[in-house]
Amino acid sequence: MTAATKTIPQQAEEFLSHPDFAEVQRVVRNAPPRYRNEMGKYSIHRASTCVSCGKCVEICQYGVHTKPEGYRQVIRPFDYKCIGPECEKSGRFCIANCPQHALSLDENPVFKTLGDCRWTPDLLASNWIMAETGRQPPKHLESQTGNSGGGFDRLRFVFPDKIPSGLRREDISTELLLNKRKNDSRPKIKIDVPWYGGGMSFGSTNIRAQLAKVRAAKAWNTFSCTGEGGYPERFIPYKDYMITQVATGLFGVREETIQRARIVEFKYAQGAKPGLGGHLLGDKNTPAVAAMREAVVGTSLFSPFPFHSVYSIEDHKKHLDWIAHVNRTALLSAKVSTPNDVEMVAVGSYCAGAHIVHMDGSYGGTGAAPNIAKKNIAMPIEYAISNVHQFLVAEGVRDEVTLIVSGGIRNPWDIAKAIAMGADGVVMGTAELVALGCIRCGCCESGRGCARGICTTDDELLQLLTVDWCTQRLINLHTAFRECLVDILYRLGIESVAALRGRTDVLMHLDYQNDKDRKQ
Amino acid sequence: MNSPVSFDGAEALIRSRKDLRPQGDWFLAPPEEEGGCGVTGFACTIPVRGKHIYEPSIQMRNRGNGKGGGIAACGLAPEDFGVSRSVLEEDYCLQVALLDSNARGEVEKEAIAPYFTIDQGGIIPTVKDFRDVPLLQVRPPDVARYFVRVKQDVLQKFAEEKKLTGLAPREIEDEFVFQNSSKLNNKFYASLGEKRAFVLSHARNLIILKVVGFAEAVVQYYCLEDSRAHVWIAHQRYPTRGRVWHPGGCHPFIGMNEALVHNGDFANYHSVCEYLAQRNLFPQFLTDTEASIMLFDLMNRAYKYPVEYIIESLAPTTELDFDRLPEEKQRVYKEIQAAQIHASPDGPWFFIIARNLMEKGFQLLGITDTAMLRPQVFALQEGEVSIGLICSEKQAIDATLASLAREDSRFSPIADMYWNARGGSSTDGGAFLLNVVPSGNGHNGTSPDYTLNVTNKFGQQVKTRPGQTHCDFSRPVTIPSSKDADAAVISRAMEQNNPQALYEHVRENTHTMDYNRLRWFASEIATRCAKDAPAFGIQALSLAIDRRYPTGDKKRSSVVATLRGGLETIFRSQPAIGGEGASTCRRITFDTRAMLRGPQEGETTLLVDATGFQPEGSECDAYLAVDAYKLGWRHIIHYNSRGTRFHAAGFGPATDGLRIDCYDNPGDYLGSGIDGLEAYVHGNAQDQLCQISKRGKVVVYGDVGQTFLYGAKGGDIYVMGNAAGRPMINAVGKPKVVINGTALDFLAESFMAGDPLTGGGFAIVNGLRVEDNGDIVALDLPYPGSNLLSLASGGAIYVRDPNRTLISEQLNGGMFGRFTNEDWKLILPYLQENERLFDIGIERDLLTVKGIARKPAAVYRKVMPKSKTADAETEEVGE
């Protein structure tokens, strides 16, 4: 029996005894939502006058209407797939074509209540569809920008009128070199896409979601990250794709977990809550979580800020030297937030020997981060990127640092913008959770955790996810992201992600555009 | 209190500076960023040569990045600087760094010639080509040095114009020099975009020099190797900006007659600058170090605070420390805090200040922030010559002493005392002043004799044990009359293979031996064991080094140096890794490191001579040890370590059966992440010991530094002395720790180590001091800090506190639980092992209080996380 035909085991012991389960392929397969009635932008109502003639099933191109074999009646529409009134132009609009006039179309009132200005309902739905299909999101959704009124949401690409000739989509490289240091004996690790997965700890996130994250990372030759809750043994088959995080609480960090990783990440701070360490409230600290962290069941675990052993740059260097001593081949990444002097932090991390400087801006963070911190402390990542990029260029060390950014990177457009502003690549956190069905309700931290089973440690809620489904959703998401990114590069006539870095000339900011217009 | 005269003086001084205010929004300029750094300094009763500041600087090179180094020397030897003693003592030594060599003429014309009588002046000598000094990246500036006095008429006019006539003439002259330098900097450095020249120093009998490079390059480039001074300080800087072309921002910075080096950075630089600006003081180099010395000078010269109050204003005494002060002090300190708290530097910092106190001599002052967030070690050696030292890391102290001892037998390579202190502490002395005081004689142009007087901030004296002398190692050893008897002891112990017996002989007899006999005895052990029984010799001598026992009229530091010399002989006599000869030991050095191989039959121990190895990275001896372990070595001895980091770390999981011994100065992160191995530190250990340790054993025959056992999961750890701040913070699982001394603060904060009675972790704090002569003395307070087991959810602390000194204010979320028989059964085996390791007797020392044997529950108290179900401690003491 091959791994492909047998479902992925959920239990640790089973997992370790079948290494072939660790195999995973970069193949898109449809991964429909977990719930029968996924929320979409539109709702379609079928009146009782329907006679199940099947006309709608016949004409709908999007799979909204189906009549499964053996069914006498057309079943309830999958209206989340509907593209809305736009469809009318296609001539295959079910509403117009229903002989009984039994169908009606409305905007879904529930849909509008989802998300927030940053993660608009359209962005959530776009992500879900990418995760389901592995393709670019449909046009009826605003899939490129949110509604925050600033930052990425006001930035646009300026595409040339004509696509430069000679460039083929299949020749565009999305590879990212993670070790740019010269005279450095550590491996020159490359990943296939310019992003990797953010750290989410065992304790904060469903182990199945964590497993899926790293499996998808393996399929796409990129990385996921343990977060600070320890290194469950179930991850070992994927150790080449798992970053070991050393965070301020040092929970679950042991020499073997440092030694098995190809990248070790120091979490100094989080953009969502600079000045605070990780938070795991008591309810989520179940016996399994407490055992992994060797702490007391049911107590809230607050990691300190900063590292108690690091109060200065030379302490930081010593800290990096320590991990470099324990693991002789791993790349070192320093995850920092974005204070006012972020450029000094970045150059300091580089000086101390970090291969990757990971800046986490202010838009990220789950429900566990206090709102007061999330919304008020760190610098938005867009500012930090250009600051740091320009500073590193001026210092003459830009080409020896891999600058990774995170904190509110939602979609491939954000990724491309971040890179054009000067980052080498990004880390995605929330976007992966959304692909697994997160609706951004912000209740990740308390009680039993996530009602959708994503950020939970509750035995019952854990069952809401399967590793297989989550893996496929994430593989699909990565595939769709890459497709969009290649498309952007193609339209810009840029042959690689590496060549996009720092190309602010291909960006414009709507505010300044208006200024210019006003002046003219 | 405030006499009206001194108040007017302060006002007048501050008003007189109003012209120093630069144009525009100067204070909006952000400070120059830099990280922490390495700082070092010493003060000696005789002037010592500049080359001795070399060694400690080299030891701390990894605390800088070669982009800034500086030194200051105070109490200079006049003949080495080509001036008479009276010029040296009376004149201001104005040193100007000429970033633009052509600026000299202009500087002299504008800022020197019109105002000063120049007794001597010129460009100071340097090596011909800066590229001959390998550590220099950028050519250091030429430095013009002038020994000057302010012209009488200039001074008079200045005093009248600035309304300073009420001050003493010298005070006015000081102020003139101070303001003149500030103007010079404004004109030639700060305000114009072009940076052409700046004042390095302008003090009497004190100079500062700095370069873009490591500190030791200063000494080399400016030819100071043979120039002598009583007090030296040095600084390795770690600026994070990539390109630095001049040393303007380097430390030390000058106040008036004092130089300051600093490790750390302030969170409230702007607030401190605003405070200074309100008093017409404006940093010109945009570093917090400069702001620090300005604060110091303001309080010293304008407000005339005594040094204790200056210290209080910099590192305020807070919380429990404040409550423990006498009422009168509380009243004064409260006033100081009210006036000064917003200018008190916030954040990690550590200053070393060298001061010329004129007729009172010279002073070296070391002080940290209230929470002691930067590492700092003090040391003292007293004898025919005495020296006090302050450093970021202990190996820098030992390197200085070794360097001094090599050329002057009056110095011993080991200090008599080492200690830490926390800035705002009211119990450990807080900050220490190393005063080199002239003792009569010597006026009228000849050098006086000096004594060293070390006090804490309250003025209490720190002394080494009286009536003991150092050994003069330059004397040859002669065969003592006791030869046969001593030799017989060695033979018998060797025959029985009983190193303990030999150690016991040393313990019982050292106090009656003279140095000659002891030296002969140690070398006899070494020569006889070197060939046939190295393991025996190493064990016996190590026991004698590790333990404390009466040494009679001999300094323990000299006794230890003698025994350590014997150990060195054994180490040196072992066959080299690539060489011939059979022994249970093999010796590997930096030069032979490539020949590392696995142990052959009969070989058990790899001796790693750390000389020449780097403190970290792939050329570090701790790195080599990991390779050696992989090749099969199971006992590794590191010696001659000078701050090597990561000893006993990096070996990976399940290292049972591996033993690591560290001599001399092992560095930070020792034993981090251990999982099964045993490590023995024969002396003091440094910071971050046993971070994330999982399982295994570490024994420290001395003190440990900051953040010991941070994030630990387990392990059995025994510490003979003290732990500094924040031990066991965020530890989980089941670490078990015996600290025989005490800890500074935040012991076991956020401890999460389950229930000790069902397998969780705990710490035992005995609150004792093992004296140099082996006496075991209870400390006044077993734990002086606050935040004991604060915010913890698991684990327990057992404190030996027979006088019930611990109070609930020291806890933050913890409670005193009932100490039961179960608790005693739990900790007894650890105390037994503690007794075996350190000779701290359970019956004799721990359970005996003022001569009376007590029950465990009357001696130990249990601090545990607050719990509704646990029994609280009851008032009555179960006798």
The alpha carbon torsion through B672, B673, B674, B680 (nearest 10 deg) reads 0
Range scoring the smallest mean pLDDT among B100-114, B411-425, B765-779: B411-425
Give the model's pLDDT for residue B879.
40
Give the model's pLDDT for residue A2.
42
Statement: residue B33 has pLDDT above 90 = no
Task: Return all residues near B493 (Cβ < 8 A) that are at least 6 apart.
Answer: B499, B501, B502, B505, B536, B540
Count helices and strands in chain B by DSSP H and E runs: 21, 34
Structure tokens, B6? 């001194």
CATH class of the region A169-511: alpha beta
Q: Which candidate in A186, A244, A296, A310 is best for mutational testing of the B interface (most B CBs within 10 A)?
A: A296
Contact A255 B34 (CB under 8 A): no
Q: Which of B671, B665, B715, B676 is nearest to B691 (CA)?
A: B671
Looking only at the bridges linking them, the beta strands covering A507-509 and A155-157 are antiparallel
Contact A312 B38 (CB under 8 A): no
φ/ψ of B677, rounded to 5, equals: -75, 165
Statement: residue A515 has pLDDT above 80 = no
Cβ distance B219 to B54 under 8 Å?
A: yes
Q: How far is B33 from chain A (nearest CA, A)?
A: 7
Task: Give percent of chain B with pLDDT exceeding 90.
Answer: 75
Question: Looking at beta carbons, which residues of chain A come within 8 Å of B64?
Answer: 314
Enumerate the domain spans of chain A.
42-107, 169-511
Other beta carbons within 10 angstroms of residue A236's beta carbon come to: 16
Instruction: Measure the CA–CA gap between B448 and B21, rounded to whole angstroms.
Output: 42
Cβ distance B651 to B633 under 8 Å?
A: no
Other beta carbons within 10 angstroms of residue B28's beta carbon come to: 8
Give the model's pLDDT for residue A9.
60
- Which residue of chain A is at minimal alpha-carbon distance from B735? A294
Q: pTM for this one?
A: 0.91
Instruction: Measure the CA–CA gap between B417 and B736, rounded to whole angstroms.
Output: 28
In this prediction, residues B479-507 reach a mean pLDDT of 95
* Tens digit of each residue's pLDDT (9 = 90 or more) over A179-193: 999 999 999 999 999
What is the Cα gyration radius of chain A? 24
Cα-based distances in Å from B310 to B161, B271, B303, B437, B577 = 30, 18, 10, 21, 56
* Tens digit of each residue's pLDDT (9 = 90 or more) over A338-369: 988 899 889 989 989 999 999 999 888 777 78
Band (pLDDT 50/70/90 cuts) for residue B36 is low
Cα of B872 vs its chain's centroid, Å: 41
Structure tokens, B655? 């290292």
Cβ distance B607 to B574 under 8 Å?
A: yes
What is the Cα gyration radius of chain B? 28
Q: How far is A380 from chain B (nearest CA, A)?
A: 20
Statement: residue B744 has pLDDT above 90 = no
SS3 at position A513:
helix
| Structure ipTM | 0.90
* CA A174-A179-A182 angle, 5° bins: 125
Secondary element (H or E) of residue A246: strand A242-247
- Which residue of chain B is at minimal alpha-carbon distance from A340? B30
Size of interface A-B (CB pairs under 8 A): 153
Q: Which candidate in B137, B238, B728 is best for mutational testing of the A interface (most A CBs within 10 A)?
A: B238
Q: What is the 3-state secondary structure (H, E, C) of B414-478?
A: CCCEEECCCCCCCCCCCCEEEEEEECCCCCCCCCCCEEEEEEECCCCEECCCCCCECCCCCCCCC
Q: Does B710 contact chain A (CB < 8 Å)?
A: yes
In this prediction, residues B708-716 reach a mean pLDDT of 96
Longest Cα–Cα distance in chain A? 77
Contact A293 B732 (CB under 8 A): yes
Q: Which of B170, B176, B139, B131 is nearest to B154 (CA)?
A: B176
Longest Cα–Cα distance in chain B? 88
DSSP letter, residue B151: -
Give the model's pLDDT for residue B31.
66
The alpha carbon torsion through A335, A338, A342, A348 (nearest 10 deg) reads -20
Q: Does A171 contact chain B (CB < 8 Å)?
A: no
Question: Looking at beta carbons, which residues of chain B come within 8 Å of A259?
Answer: 652
| DSSP-assigned letters across all residues of A479-499 | HHHHHHHHHHHHHHT--BHHH
Band (pLDDT 50/70/90 cuts) for residue A16 is low
Instruction: Measure the CA–CA gap between A99 and A264, rounded to whole angstroms.
Output: 63
Q: Does A303 contact chain B (CB < 8 Å)?
A: yes
Structure tokens, B240? 């994070």
Instruction: Measure the CA–CA gap between B60 and B366, rounded to whole angstroms.
Output: 17
Count of CA atoms in the C-beta half-sphere (13 A) of B323: 8
* Tens digit of each residue's pLDDT (9 = 90 or more) over B316-372: 998 888 998 999 999 999 999 999 998 999 888 999 999 999 999 999 999 988 877
Q: Which one-letter amino acid corresponds to residue B193? A: G
In this prediction, residues B536-563 reach a mean pLDDT of 96
* Tens digit of each residue's pLDDT (9 = 90 or more) over A363-422: 887 777 888 887 788 889 999 999 999 999 998 999 999 999 999 899 999 999 999 999
Cβ distance A508 to A156 under 8 Å?
A: yes
Tell me the residues of chain A between 376 and 395 that have a Cβ less than 8 Å away from chain B.
395
- Which residue of chain A is at minimal alpha-carbon distance from B756? A296
Instruction: Measure the CA–CA gap between B816 and B874, rounded to whole angstroms.
Output: 9
- For B627: left if phi > 0, alpha if psi spans -120 to 50, otherwise beta; the answer is alpha
Which residue from B240, B623, B691 is facing A309, i.e. has the nearest CB? B691
Give the model's pLDDT for residue A274.
83
């320890």: which residue's tokens? A230
Statement: residue B872 has pLDDT above 90 = no
* Tens digit of each residue's pLDDT (9 = 90 or more) over A299-333: 888 888 888 888 888 889 999 999 999 999 999 99
Cα-based distances in Å from B395 to A12, B59, B61 = 48, 7, 12
Peptide bond just before B252 cis, omega within 30 deg: yes
* Tens digit of each residue's pLDDT (9 = 90 or more) over B788-835: 999 999 999 999 999 999 999 899 889 999 999 999 999 999 999 999
Structure tokens, B456? 């804490």
Give the model's pLDDT for residue B131.
87
Give the model's pLDDT for residue A67.
93
Q: Does B242 contact chain A (CB < 8 Å)?
A: yes
Secondary element (H or E) of residue A515: helix A510-519
Question: Looking at beta carbons, which residues of chain A come within 8 Å of B63?
Answer: 314
* Tens digit of each residue's pLDDT (9 = 90 or more) over A413-472: 999 999 999 999 999 999 999 999 999 988 888 788 899 999 999 999 999 999 999 999
Cβ distance B108 to B94 under 8 Å?
A: no
* Tens digit of each residue's pLDDT (9 = 90 or more) over B149-200: 999 999 999 999 999 999 999 999 999 999 999 999 988 987 556 789 999 9
Statement: residue A280 has pLDDT above 90 = no
* Tens digit of each residue's pLDDT (9 = 90 or more) over B616-672: 999 999 999 999 999 999 999 999 998 899 999 999 999 999 999 999 999 999 999
Q: Does B240 contact chain A (CB < 8 Å)?
A: yes
Cα-based distances in Å from B658 to A422, A512, B648 = 49, 66, 9
Q: Which one-letter amino acid corresponds to residue A101? A: H
Instruction: Identify the architecture of domain A42-107 in CATH.
Output: 2-Layer Sandwich (3.30)
Q: Does A302 contact chain B (CB < 8 Å)?
A: yes
Which residue from B36, B617, B729 is facing A314, i.e. has the nearest CB? B36
Give the model's pLDDT for residue B878.
43
SS3 at position A357:
strand
* Tens digit of each residue's pLDDT (9 = 90 or more) over A481-491: 999 999 999 99
Question: Looking at beta carbons, which residues of chain B come within 8 Å of A326?
Answer: 646, 649-650, 672-673
Q: How far is B547 from chain A (nearest CA, A)?
A: 30
* Tens digit of each residue's pLDDT (9 = 90 or more) over A127-166: 999 999 999 999 999 999 999 998 999 999 999 998 877 8
Statement: residue B731 has pLDDT above 50 = yes
Contact A308 B652 (CB under 8 A): no
Q: How far is A285 from chain B (nearest CA, A)?
A: 12
Give the model's pLDDT for residue A482.
98
Question: Looking at beta carbons, which residues of chain A come within 8 Å of B269?
Answer: none
Q: How far is A297 from chain B (nearest CA, A)?
A: 9
| DSSP-assigned letters across all residues of A308-341 | TT-SSHHHHHHHHHHHHHH-SS-EEEEEEE--TT
Q: Which of B733, B657, B728 is nearest to B697 (CA)?
A: B657
Alpha helices for A181-340 (secondary structure H): 207-219, 255-259, 287-293, 313-326
- Which residue of chain A is at minimal alpha-carbon distance from B730? A249
